[in-house]
Each structure stands twice: as C-alpha cells, then as structure tokens.
Amino acid sequence: MWFTLERMYGELVSWQRCAACGAEAELPGDETAGVAVPCPDCPGSMTEEFSWDAVAA
C-alpha cells in the first residue's frame, strides 16, 4: 500500500516538482500555498504541479 499525505491531510495536498532537477514531492497544500519550498535535492525551488482539490473538481 502506498502511503500518501492524503490520508493525513484529506484534500489539502499538492504535488510539487523542482524545475531544476525534476524531483517530485507530495506536500500539505495549506502549509505550502504561497511559500517558496526549497528542493531537497538541489538549490532550486519546488513549484506546484497540481493539487488534489483541482483533480477532484
């Protein structure tokens, strides 16, 4: 079974991707909205690809 933040945060989850290296992360959407999230793998920053709210709509 895959562990996802959706179980913890419900629909307040967003998929983020680093434009520099392509790293992906599933992060809490309400905590990362409007915040520059640093990439864990390189000096770049993460940008939101989509959120579960948008997919569900």
Closest CA to 13 of 57, 39, 54, 51: 51
Output the pLDDT for position 48.
Answer: 87
* Bridge partners, 14 (sequence order): 27, 51
Higher pLDDT, 53 or 28: 28
Find the radius of gyration of the CA atoms of the chain: 11
Percent of the chain with pLDDT over 70: 68
User: Is the whole-model pTM more than 0.75?
Assistant: no
**Which position has the token pair 């948008």?**
54
